[in-house]
Chain A
Amino acid sequence: MLLKDVRDYQILFLSLFLFLGIWTRDWTLRPDLILVVMITCLVTQSLAVSIKQNLFNLLPVQDNCPNEIDSGLTNVLAKLSLRSALITALGLSLLLRADSYSTMILAGSFAIISKFIFNFRNKHFFNPANFGIIAALILTKDAWVSPGQWGDEWWYALLFAGTGGTILKRVGRWDTTAAFLGSYAFLEAIRNIWLGWTWDVFLHRLMSGSLLLFALFMITDPRSIPNARIGRLVWAVSIGCLTFLLRNQFFVSTAVFWALFALAPLTIFLDFIWTAPRFSWGENPSPTFSNLVINKSEEIESETYLQA
């Protein structure tokens, strides 16, 4: 049950980060806003799933629906994909700052809805939390991201690398993190040499907790990124390059989020060029007719990985 799903680990780790952040990082995190964003994400997810299912049921023949008395909590969680919504909410809580409830509600609902709207061949291509962050930054006047607040301490780096590694190993998406960090670090190193800065400047930039959190927990969402490894590598390197450009040429402090947002649609294109089986959280990705219904909800559920 619990911890059976990789996302349970993710929820656990992200919650841990949130507590750590509140206790040790002296943030202006507001518990009320965190609560609001959690509720928003869960409610939006539930509503969206039921609307989608209802729409779906209208089209095909709605005959056999006998096996729905699975009243277990896990089933509810799975059906509504609440794990994913929770991960999105945690991601938003960790990264987004706002002054009002309405902004958090907007961020949370846009994050979840993006999964259902920006969907191509039953695969969403925006990372939900990232989408929520960008939506709040663009559409409201009181949202911001504090990229410096995680500091650059080595034990945070180890913590992120350890927990992130645990998940990536299970999910098999470490290549994305490596490609992103590798390309970004390479460009920063070249710039560092060219400018003549000492290497501590380079290390300081790369040790940023926010950057690592992003690289390990957000950019690796197996559901929204390209399916084929080669596609993922191209995709992650592009994000690394764009991040570098935005940060050093346009002085955007939240460059990573904009880079991911801008390049997310590239997933569709890359999937088209390099095909590979889609990632699925369930163990049996090949649907048989009999488990079609279940698979559908599972599908929806899996759409959110790290919405951090």
Chain B
Amino acid sequence: MKLFRIGKTLVITLLAVICFAPTAWGFCGFYVAKADTKLYNKASQVVIARDRDRTILTMANDYQGDVKDFALVVPVPTVLQKEQVHVGDPKIIERLDAFSAPRLVEYFDEDPCNPVMYERLAAPAAAPASGAARASRDEDNSLGVTVEARFNVGEYDIVILSAKESNGLETWLNRNGYKIPQGAKQLLQPYIRQNMKFFVAKVNLKEFQNSGSQFLRPLQMAYESPKFMLPIRLGMINATTEQDLIVYVLSPKGQAEVTNYRTVKVPSDAEIPVFVKNEFSDFYKSMFQTSYTREDKKVAFLEYAWDMGSCDPCSAEPLNREELRKAGVFWLDSGSHESAPFRRSIAPSNDVFITRLHVRYTRDKFPEDLVFQETSNNQNFQGRYVLRHPFTGDVKCQAGQQYKKSLTRRFEQEAQTLAKLTGWNIQDIRKKMPVAQSNSRPWWQNIFP
């Protein structure tokens, strides 16, 4: 439902993406509207599959306005030809999102009077909980703008531009029906000076209608460049608030991180009250905001890092090979990787490590575009929050009494953890918590039964 997202850029020369999105989560460059549709960036999603200098970048469009108003300008490091641009499958982004989303895990306490069972519980018997989902050529020349390529891909009309100066580029875009946000000119210049090209897309209404689709599909581009970055500055032009960007980096090596800002793990593995199950999205939003504020709003958060071959607990099945290919993973097809069918059963998609980074940014805290690097860090990480349901049956044994007594302390601890993570009022939290039916008998009853 939200508006829109876009995405990123990478490798050799530089990759810059500009997108504008109107609402909910995300990142990016800017969307250029043709009408006065209010467009704000809220949440963009970008998938970067990268191996050495090769990159396949997928920008997910969750555009909510009238498609005829949709337009996108993204700085890219190289001139892209038709063969390098592709329309992706929107489901893949959803799959990646679901697979890597921060998750709740539920555990159920066993009967404390049945120690065998109780011990068995210590082994991870996790029930997977739902994850949060989360002009003419001459004229062009006089403007210093060169149309390097022009083609259609799916429902999109795409133009690849190179420009000599930002005034000319702005004029060209305006003449061709793109409405540039104010202030974009100054921001376009650095990309021009860095010799970047501009990927400009709008929707071909006829094709779009023919496709029968209701939504715009993601755009994918493949290129080779040492630049591994995402130009977020453009996306801040018409943003009025903080913007969210979710970046999924798929790498054959290991975790990806940001090199010019700190990369910090989101708080994880906390035991929180059971009632959060019904308000997980509120919890996560509050928790993220609290962490973001605590880190002075200038870090990138690591939400998930995992080998794509497995998950534990899974909030969604790992992507299969075909899905990975659709997500841009290009290195699995080389013969050597395919020759391990036996491994597949254990780890169907080894050689793909996913890193999910969540960046919430504003102009004052993120002056520079994001620069990434892959590392060899293979440690797994997930944003994971634990619910432990207390045992509710009757307990009659001594251990059971101890257990019941311990619940009061445990609930309080959970309440405090929740308050600390989210900044919620501890009193409100306590009100929602179950009263630990303090089965504790008056002290004298031990003597006078």
Contacts and interface: CB of A to CB of B under 8 A. Distances in A.
Interface in B203-242: 226-228
B189 interface: yes
Nearest to A151: B262
B352 interface: no
A198 B259 CA distance: 20
Interface residues of B, number: 33
A164 to B, nearest CB: 21
Contacts of B227: 251
A29 B40 CA distance: 39
B257 interface: yes
The residue among A146, A251, A253 with the most chain B CB atoms within 10 A of its own CB is: A251
Nearest to A100: B376
Contact of A196 (B12, B186, B265): B186
Interface string A122-137: 0000000000000000
A99 interface: yes
Interface stretch (A41-49, A63-71, A200-208, A230-238): A200-208
B190 A253 contact: no
Contact of B377 (A28, A148, A201, A251): A28
Contacts of A25: 262
A147 B14 CA distance: 19
Contacts of B190: 195-197
Contacts of B186: 196
Contacts of A99: 254, 376-379
B260 A196 contact: no
A203 to B, nearest CB: 8
A250 B379 CA distance: 28
B376 A204 contact: no
Interface in A129-177: 141-144, 146-153
Contacts of B14: 251
B368 A251 contact: no
Per DSSP, chain B at the interface is: loop
Nearest to A146: B257
A28 B364 CA distance: 27
A198 B226 CA distance: 24
B226 A141 contact: no
A250 B260 contact: no
A98 B261 CA distance: 20
B264 A26 contact: yes
B174 interface: no
A148 B375 contact: no
Given A28-B377, A97-B375, A144-B373, A195 B194 contact: yes
Contact of A250 (B194, B226, B367): B226
B263 interface: yes
A26 B265 contact: yes
A113 B12 CA distance: 36
Nearest to B372: A253
A23 interface: no
A250 to B, nearest CB: 6
Contacts of A28: 377, 379
Nearest to A200: B367
Going nearest first, the 8 A-B pairs with the smallest beta carbon separation are A200-B367, A142-B376, A195-B190, A144-B375, A253-B259, A196-B189, A251-B226, A151-B262
Interface of B: 12, 14, 186, 189-190, 193-194, 226-228, 254, 257-265, 296, 298-299, 364, 367-368, 371, 373, 375-379
10 contacts: A26-B262, A28-B377, A99-B254, A142-B254, A144-B375, A150-B262, A152-B298, A195-B193, A205-B368, A253-B260
Interface of A: 25-26, 28, 97-99, 141-144, 146-153, 194-198, 200-201, 203-205, 208, 250-251, 253
Given A142-B378, A151-B299, 9 more contacts: A26-B262, A97-B375, A99-B378, A144-B373, A144-B375, A146-B375, A147-B260, A194-B193, A200-B364
